[in-house]
Amino acid sequence: MPAWSAIAKGDELPPLELRLTRADLVRYAGASGDFNPIHWSDRTAAAVGLPGVIAHGMLTMALAGRLVTRWVGDPAAVRSYAVRFTRPVVVPDDDAGALLELSGKVGDVREAEPDSCRVATIDITARFAGKTVLGRAAAEVVLPE
């Protein structure tokens, strides 16, 4: 667990590497209720000009969110979370799937209400195939005492 009072701009969060397979997309479709066929049907993805079946943007966002919540330790600490989906994560129909590399860095720490709590902005980087797939991805979290 980090020494919270010493957290400062530039500190890095423990990175997270994940592999997404078609099974993960099907599971997320069921759990989220997003059954858009571009997330499971090669035929549909090809018909609408996509490079392949792509992961739900919200799955990538959820995985990147784990990076933040496991660091701060509490989902209730999250004050805001926002991303732009800048590139698709193409998930092949094989066992290896797509490798997603997630990392985060403290971009800012400031005092905020109530009770002068310390709020950190975490800048998140998500990479797939060597390129970023999220833009302006950031979460604001209340740091523990």
Between 8 and 70, CB nearer to other proteins: 70
Between 9 and 27, CB nearer to other proteins: 27
List CB contacts of 141: < 8 A, sequence separation 6 or more: 68, 72, 77, 78, 79, 119, 120, 122
Looking at 6-14, 72-80, 110-118, 124-132, which segment touches other proteins (CB under 8 A)? Answer: 72-80
CB 140 within 8 A of CB 69: no
Among 7, 78, 90, 119, binds other proteins (CB under 8 A): 78
Among 5, 14, 80, 108, binds other proteins (CB under 8 A): 80
By the rule CB under 8 A, 44 interacts with other proteins: yes
List CB contacts of 143: < 8 A, sequence separation 6 or more: 4, 7, 72, 77, 109, 117, 118, 119, 120
By the rule CB under 8 A, 112 interacts with other proteins: no
By the rule CB under 8 A, 18 interacts with other proteins: yes
